[in-house]
Amino acid sequence: MNFLSLLLAVLGSSASLAAPTTSAQNATVDALVYALPLAPYVSFANTGSVVNASNDFVTNTFAHATTLANASFRTVVLPNTDTLYSAALLDLSAGDVVVTMPDRELGRFYVLPFYDLYGNNVCSIGTVTNSTAGKYLIQYRPSNAACDLIPDAGDEYAGTISLPTVYGQILLRIEVFNSSDVDDIVSTIQPHFTLTSLNTPSAGAPPLTSALLNDNLAVDNPSLHLLQLLSRVASFNPAEEASDAEHVAATLEAAGISASSQSYTQPPDLDLASAYTTALNLVQQVPSNPANLLPLGSSAPITWSTTLPSLSGDFHTRYDLRAYISISNAYPPTQLHASHLDPPCFYANQTYMVEFSGKPDVRGFWSLTVYDGEGFLIPNALNRYSLGDRANLTYSDGTPVYDGNGNGAGGDSKAFYMLLQSTDVEVATEWESNWLPTPADGAKFIFILRFYGPTLSLTDGTYEYPKVTAVDANPPLPISE
Ligand SMILES: *[C@@H]1O[C@H](CO)[C@@H](O)[C@H](O)[C@H]1NC(C)=O
Ligand SMILES: *[C@@H]1O[C@H](CO)[C@@H](O)[C@H](O)[C@H]1NC(C)=O
Ligand SMILES: *[C@@H]1O[C@H](CO)[C@@H](O)[C@H](O)[C@H]1NC(C)=O
Ligand SMILES: *[C@@H]1O[C@H](CO)[C@@H](O)[C@H](O)[C@H]1NC(C)=O
Ligand SMILES: *[C@@H]1O[C@H](CO)[C@@H](O)[C@H](O)[C@H]1NC(C)=O
Ligand SMILES: *[C@@H]1O[C@H](CO)[C@@H](O)[C@H](O)[C@H]1NC(C)=O
Ligand SMILES: *[C@@H]1O[C@H](CO)[C@@H](O)[C@H](O)[C@H]1NC(C)=O
C-alpha cells in the first residue's frame, strides 16, 4: 500500500474523534490539512517518469508518455485514457524557467497547466485559453502569484507565470484522436514542448531532490511524516494568498514547525493521532458540504456535481478543499469533472445502464471513465477504460453516434446508452460497442465524466445529465428517441 492509498483508506474509515482544546492541538489540525497535498506531490515526484537511473529527480524537463494509460498505469490516480500526458517537476530554486509551447494544430485540444507545490492550478495555457504559441516565463514570486498571459513589451515572452512556491509541477495533456494518432503526437508534437532553465539569481532555496522529499522522515506515521516534510519546505513554499501568509506562518509555528530551523518539534501534550483523525474528517466533509458544490443534475441513485467553478483548480485560502481535491484526484482537474458523490461507489455484482439524453456540447472532447475502488483502471480483454466522443458508440438502431475521431456536432438530443457491466459477464453482441467494463468479483467501482472545453449548457442546467439505472445483465436495448 503506498502512502496515497493509505491516506485514502484512512479517509474511507469513520474514526471517532476526541475533543482537543489546546491551541497547539487546533493548530496541528490546520497544519495537517495544509500539508495533505504534499503526499500526492511526493508520489508524483517519486514515479518512474520523472526520476533518473540513480533514482534522483529530473527537474525542469518534460517526461513525455508515449502510450495511452491502461490498467498497468500507476503514475496518476484517475488517469485520462484519451490524452497523452507529459509531466515535469518544476524547481525554481536555481532561477527562472522558460516553457516553449509550439503552434497549435488546428482542431487538436491540449492544455498545459501549472501547479504550485500544494496543487493550486495557478495558470493554464493551451487551446482552452486560446494561448499564443511561444515562450512563457515561469518565475517564483512568493507574495505575488499571477498568471499574466499578455505578451511583454519586448515580445520575448508570450506571458509570465508567477508561482507562489519554489517547487511545482506541469502536467501537459494532448488530445488523442485514435490509436494510430499516438505515434504522430510522440514524434511530431511532444518534442516541441520544452523547458529551459535560465541563469537568473537563485531563490536561495534548496534544490528539489529525492533526499529533500523522502529521506530521514518518520515511517509508519503519516501525520508525523507530513509535518516533518512540511517543516522542510514551508519557508520557500508559502500560501498562495499573500494576505494569508502571516496567518499560515503563525499556525505552523503554533503547531511546532519552526521556520528558522526548518524542523518540526512535537508540542508537549499534543495528541497527534487525534489531530490527524480530525484533519481527515474535516477534509472528508468537503464533498458533502453543499456550499462547495455546483449540482449539475440529479437522478436517483446519483447526483452529478462538480466543485464550484470559483474553487476549481485554484483554491486560494480554501485549504480543506485543496486537500480534498489533491488527495482524491492526485491532480486537480483543469476540465469540468463531473462526479457522482452519492453513493460514493458502485459494486460490479450489479449491471448499470447509463442513459445520455444527447451528445454533451463541448469545444474539446468528453469521456466517461470507470475506475476501481483505488482510482485505477480496470483490466479487461478489450483494453477499454473509457467511452466518449472518440469511441465507436452507437445509437440503439446501430448507427454511429460519432465518426470515431471525435467528429459529429455535439449538443443534440438523441439518446444513447452505455452499459456498465462486469468483465465476469459476457457482454451481448448488441451492447459491445457501448459496453464499459466494470471489475471482476463484484468489486467496487466509480466513474467520472469529463468535459474538456465545456460549453455553458453543461453547467447552466440546459444539459440533462445521464441517468444511471440498475438493470439485469445484458438488458434489451432501449429505443433511442
Ligand atoms: C479548537 O477547535 C475547536 C473545533 O473547531 C473549537 O471548538 C475550539 O474552540 C478550538 N479551540 C481553540 C483553543 O482554538
Ligand atoms: C541523476 O540525477 C542526479 C541529480 O541531477 C545526478 O547527480 C545523477 O548523476 C543522475 N544519475 C544518472 C544515472 O543520470
Ligand atoms: C499497458 O501499457 C504498458 C506501458 O505502455 C505496456 O507495456 C503494456 O503492454 C500495456 N498493456 C496492455 C494490456 O495493453
Ligand atoms: C477562442 O477562440 C474561439 C474562436 O475564435 C472563440 O470562439 C472562443 O470564444 C475563444 N475562447 C476563449 C476562451 O477566448
Ligand atoms: C486518426 O486520426 C488522424 C488525425 O485526425 C486521422 O488523420 C486518421 O485518419 C485517423 N485514423 C483512423 C483510423 O481513423
Ligand atoms: C453487491 O455487493 C455489495 C457489497 O458486497 C452488497 O452490499 C450488495 O447487496 C450486492 N448486490 C447484489 C445485487 O448482489
Ligand atoms: C472504432 O472502430 C474502428 C473500425 O472498426 C477501429 O479501427 C477503431 O479502433 C475503433 N475505435 C475504438 C476507440 O475502439
**Domain locations in the chain?**
3-40+209-284, 58-197, 286-471
How far apart CA 28 and CA 25 sit, in angstroms, is 5
- Does the Cβ of 106 fall within 6 Å of ligand 4? no
Q: Residue 416: which region, alpha, beta or left (left: phi > 0; alpha: psi -120 to 50)?
A: beta
Q: Which three cell numbers stand for residue 314?
A: 485554484
Under CATH, to which class is 286-471 assigned?
mainly beta
Q: Which three cell numbers stand for residue 291?
A: 456550499
Q: Determine the 3-state secondary structure of 254 from DSSP.
A: helix
How far apart CA 470 and CA 301 sit, in angstroms, is 9
Report the relative pairing of strands 302-307 and 293-299 from DSSP bridges.
Answer: antiparallel
- Does the Cβ of 244 fall within 6 Å of ligand 5? no
C-alpha 146 to ligand 6 mean position (Å): 49
Distance of CA 120 to the CA centre of its chain: 11
Q: Which three cell numbers stand for residue 28?
A: 496541528
DSSP E strand boundaries for 198-347: 257-258, 263-264, 293-299, 302-307, 336-340, 346-347
CB 292 within 8 A of CB 307: yes
Distance of CA 307 to the CA centre of its chain: 13
C-alpha 52 to ligand 2 mean position (Å): 6
Report the relative pairing of strands 366-372 and 263-264 from DSSP bridges.
Answer: unpaired
Q: Which three cell numbers stand for residue 117?
A: 507545490
> Residue 352 gets which letter from DSSP?
E
> What is the reported pLDDT for 323?
92
Block means of pLDDT (10 residues each) for the chain, 481 residues, are: 29 36 87 96 84 90 88 66 88 97 80 93 86 93 93 88 97 85 91 94 92 96 97 96 95 96 95 96 81 75 73 86 75 51 75 94 85 87 91 92 67 88 97 97 90 82 90 91 56
How far apart CA 309 and CA 311 sit, in angstroms, is 5
C-alpha 70 to ligand 1 mean position (Å): 46
- Does the Cβ of 470 fall within 6 Å of ligand 6? no
Give the up-direction half-sphere exposure of residue 439: CA atoms within 13 A in the CB hemisphere: 20
> What is the reported pLDDT for 31?
98
How far apart CA 167 and CA 189 sit, in angstroms, is 26
Using alpha carbons only, give the angle 312, 316, 321 rounded to the nearest 5 degrees.
Answer: 55
Atom of ligand 5 minimally distant from the CA of 177: 2
| Those residues with Cβ within 8 angstroms of residue 219's Cβ, 6 or more apart along the chain or in another chain | 225
CB atoms within 10 A of CB 338: 25
Distances (CA, A) of 319 to 82, 104, 212, 276: 31, 35, 23, 15
Cross-strand bridge partners of residue 101? 134
CB atoms within 10 A of CB 34: 25
Distances (CA, A) of 118 to 114, 165, 214, 278, 324: 11, 9, 17, 20, 11
- Does the Cβ of 130 fall within 6 Å of ligand 4? yes
C-alpha 55 to ligand 2 mean position (Å): 8
Q: Which three cell numbers stand for residue 8?
A: 485514502
Cα–Cα nearest to 162, from 183, 146, 180, 186 = 146
- How much is the CA Rg of the chain, to the nearest whole Å? 23
- What's the fold here for domain 58-197? Immunoglobulin-like (2.60.40)
- Does the Cβ of 55 fall within 6 Å of ligand 2? no
C-alpha 187 to ligand 1 mean position (Å): 57
CB 87 within 8 A of CB 158: no
C-alpha 347 to ligand 6 mean position (Å): 7
- Does the Cβ of 350 fall within 6 Å of ligand 6? yes
Q: Determine the 3-state secondary structure of 419 from DSSP.
A: strand
- Does the Cβ of 200 fall within 6 Å of ligand 6? no
Q: Residue 273: which region, alpha, beta or left (left: phi > 0; alpha: psi -120 to 50)?
A: alpha
